[in-house]
């Protein structure tokens, strides 16, 4: 059994092992896609293969679609050369159920896989051809938030950007330069309409893509290196749009345990590849069963009926509400609480924390009692249903190898949006009392205790990466476990609790600082105090 066009022809063998296979004629779909491509996706990573590619497969199986996907990779070409092409763009998706069972699917909806490399004559020519096609409706992206940056944190242009600014839409080097060059090709061939849709997991992602594309178009027009009017085309919503989206699906790195399941089924040639750019790819992906993709419905060239596979199309305001529901109350805050407390209690798997009665009780209080009262209902997804799924299915999923150590990274950058926004809502609404907030002040106190880099048994552990780590840990450097917290140390901590850029509010002005400090003092009393305080809330 091999994951290839030839290898999946013996359907009975695969189906006997419990695999769902493409039920459409792959060769006919490939021909139609070649002639009239409708969707090209940039970013050939795991989320694309587990989510977008599987959605298209479902719609092909149902007969809703008659064409498949084109994928392009503009950063790590070895993903295409060493993984997609040797397997004829066919892969396995293993869906990890919270019940402990798995669902196995052979995904064959990807009809072309291309290197977005302007020095690759064949692939680049095909990309230009696709962007000249009137049938192209949507260009989507999962290239990570960093992929939209034209400058690094020091304000220095990313590699290739300045060269691309000067050269114009000719043999671009930078990722966004390639995208804008292809869009320029669409402009010079009739100002054809298209939706440019970021599906990356970041706030207002469409604006980030637009800003990068618009800056390129502005520079090119300023320097006279592109066809006049290109900037106007980019900014004409009847021609080009940059919808917002909210995506939510956990797709961890391909797991060795899942690889073994597939090998035991008799599948050959499953060895992963680690590229020279350190990308870890395999012929299979593993992902959780739950998924959400909410898309602003702005498609100037029409769009496929993706709602028939469970995607949501709505307006920009609703996309924003769904994102805030997830990030500010119903999912991300629960993860952050578990990440900090998990480090202190010695956990190495988030799912295991949900078996801890104290943590489970507090997770539920944080979500249902403290967060849910301030959620703005987006209408298309009920907040209580969403949080029910998070608490009962998603976080406890034993297959999800998410660790508190990974989620605790960059905590100083997360507290403001994940907890500060809720505090602001309580302050704005006279019918809500800050006295009801028990877990949110506890999270802040636990974070201070975490910064001491000692677990609840007094053992040293390594703090996770955070851009403000050296800055914030100095506030607790004088505190010793079991020796009490001195007035001098508390005065230093006062400075930290006033920092709005970290907590979203000045915790003294909000009236929560005394509570945080009292909890911190309790957490530092002795070994075992973290557990004792958790039990007391």
Please state, in angstroms and rounded to a whole number, the distance separating the CA atoms of residues 45 and 22.
Answer: 21
Please state, in angstroms and rounded to a whole number, the distance separating the CA atoms of residues 465 and 348.
Answer: 16
Query: What pLDDT, on the 0 to 100 scale, is given for residue 333?
Result: 96
Query: What pLDDT, on the 0 to 100 scale, is given for residue 17?
Result: 95
Please state, in angstroms and rounded to a whole number, the distance separating the CA atoms of residues 376 and 383.
Answer: 8
What averages of pLDDT result for each successive group of 10 residues across the chain (537 residues)?
Answer: 93 95 96 98 96 98 98 96 96 90 95 97 98 98 92 88 95 97 98 98 94 97 96 98 96 88 93 90 92 97 97 97 94 96 96 96 97 94 95 90 89 94 95 96 98 96 93 94 92 96 96 97 96 97
Please state, in angstroms and rounded to a whole number, the distance separating the CA atoms of residues 516 and 446.
Answer: 9
What are the beta bridge partners of residue 91? 107
Determine the angle formed by the axes of helices 332-345 and 357-364, rounding to 10 degrees: 160
Please state, in angstroms and rounded to a whole number, the distance separating the CA atoms of residues 296 and 314.
Answer: 5
Query: What pLDDT, on the 0 to 100 scale, is given for residue 253?
Result: 84
The structure tokens listed for 122 are 């064949």
Please state, in angstroms and rounded to a whole number, the distance separating the CA atoms of residues 340 and 358.
Answer: 14
Query: What pLDDT, on the 0 to 100 scale, is given for residue 421?
Result: 94
Please state, in angstroms and rounded to a whole number, the distance separating the CA atoms of residues 456 and 176.
Answer: 47
> Residue holding tokens 């007391």?
536
Positive or negative, the Cα torsion across 352, 357, 359, 364? positive
Q: CA torsion angle for 113, 116, 119, 124 (degrees, to 10)?
A: 70
Find out whether 220 and 168 touch, Cβ atoms under 8 Å: yes
β-pairing, 240-241 with 194-198? parallel
Cα 140 to the center of its chain, rounded Å: 14
Query: What pLDDT, on the 0 to 100 scale, is given for residue 486?
Result: 92
């Amino acid at each position: 059994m091999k994951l290839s066009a030839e290898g999946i022809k013996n359907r009975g063998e695969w189906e006997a092992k419990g695999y769902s296979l493409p039920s459409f004629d792959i060769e006919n779909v490939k021909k139609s896609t070649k002639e009239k491509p409708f969707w090209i996706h940039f970013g050939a990573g795991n989320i694309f293969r587990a989510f977008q590619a599987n959605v298209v497969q479902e719609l092909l199986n149902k007969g809703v679609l008659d064409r498949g996907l084109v994928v392009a990779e503009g950063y790590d070409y070895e993903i295409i050369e060493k993984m997609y092409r040797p397997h004829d763009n066919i892969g396995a998706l293993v869906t990890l159920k919270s019940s402990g069972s798995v669902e196995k699917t052979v995904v064959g909806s990807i009809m072309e896989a291309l290197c977005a490399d302007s020095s690759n004559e064949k692939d680049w020519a095909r990309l230009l051809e696709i962007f000249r096609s009137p049938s192209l409706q949507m260009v989507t992206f999962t290239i990570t938030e960093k992929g939209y940056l034209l400058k690094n944190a020091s304000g220095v242009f990313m590699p290739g950007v300045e060269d691309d600014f000067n050269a114009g839409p000719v043999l671009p080097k930078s990722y966004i330069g390639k995208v804008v060059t292809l869009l320029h090709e669409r402009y010079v061939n009739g100002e054809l309409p298209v939706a440019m849709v970021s599906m990356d997991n970041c706030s207002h992602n469409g604006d980030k893509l637009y800003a990068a594309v618009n800056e390129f178009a502005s520079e090119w027009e300023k320097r006279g290196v592109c066809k006049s009017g290109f900037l106007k085309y980019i900014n004409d919503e009847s021609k080009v749009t940059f919808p917002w989206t909210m995506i939510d699906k956990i797709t961890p790195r391909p797991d060795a345990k899942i690889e073994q399941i597939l090998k035991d089924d008799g599948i050959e040639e499953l060895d992963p590849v680690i590229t020279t750019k350190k990308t870890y790819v395999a012929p299979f992906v593993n992902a959780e069963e739950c998924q959400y993709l909410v898309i602003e419905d702005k498609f100037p060239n029409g769009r496929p009926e993706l709602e028939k596979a469970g995607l949501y199309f709505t307006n920009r305001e609703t996309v924003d509400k769904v994102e805030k529901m997830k990030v500010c109350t119903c999912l991300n805050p629960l993860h952050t609480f578990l990440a900090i407390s998990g480090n202190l209690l010695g956990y190495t798997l988030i799912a295991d924390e949900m078996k801890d009665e104290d943590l489970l009780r507090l997770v539920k209080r944080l979500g249902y009692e403290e967060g849910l009262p301030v959620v703005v209902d987006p209408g298309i997804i009920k907040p209580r249903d969403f949080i029910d799924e998070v608490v009962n299915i998603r976080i406890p999923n034993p297959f999800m190898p998410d660790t508190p150590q990974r989620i605790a990274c960059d905590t100083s950058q997360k507290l403001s949006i994940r907890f500060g926004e809720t505090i602001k809502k309580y302050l704005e609404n006279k019918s809500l009392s800050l006295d009801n907030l028990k877990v949110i002040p506890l999270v802040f106190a636990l974070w201070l205790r975490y910064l001491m880099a000692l677990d609840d048994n007094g053992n040293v552990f390594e703090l996770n990466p955070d851009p403000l780590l050296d800055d914030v840990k100095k506030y607790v450097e004088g505190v010793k476990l079991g020796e009490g917290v001195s007035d001098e140390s508390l005065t230093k901590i006062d400075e930290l609790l006033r920092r709005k850029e970290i907590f979203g509010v000045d915790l003294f002005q909000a009236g929560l600082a005394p509570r945080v400090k009292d909890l911190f003092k309790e957490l530092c009393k002795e070994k075992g105090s973290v557990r004792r305080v958790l039990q007391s809330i």
